[in-house]
Amino acid sequence: MLDNVATFEDWAAEYETVELPFERRTVESEMAERTVRDLEVPAICLGVYSDAMLSGVFPCTVAGEQITVTDYVATLAEEGTFEAVSEQPDSAVQI
């Protein structure tokens, strides 16, 4: 799972307007004398690949608009296509 999250984060880093819901925290315990790293992920996360290339991650926020996995699946079912982010970095979502 950590490899997938890293891949998703690398993809999102290519687009200034895309934010993913992953949260990383580091907690230092003096009592246990150790540092614990925590990664919070959504209950459902979807990576979409086209021709073996990652082309979308859901849920995400693009230019302030939240897009859930359900939003993606519903749009895909209704329209037969969904472009999360255009091929040009820093472009907005086209739904």
Cβ-based neighbour number of residue 4 at 10 Å: 13
94 falls in which pLDDT band (50, 70, 90)? very low
pLDDT band at 80 (very low <50, low <70, confident <90, very high): confident
What is the model's pTM?
0.74
In this structure, the chain runs to a length of 95
Asked if 48 and 57 touch (Cβ cutoff 8 Å), the reply is yes
Q: Is 91 exposed, middle or buried (0-12, 13-18, 19+ CB in 10 A)?
A: middle
For 29-79, how does the pLDDT look when each residue is reduced to its tens digit (9 = 90+)? 888 889 988 899 999 999 999 888 998 999 999 989 999 999 999 988 888
d(CA 70, CA 37): 30
Distance of CA 70 to the CA centre of its chain: 14
Q: Where are the domains of the chain?
A: 2-79
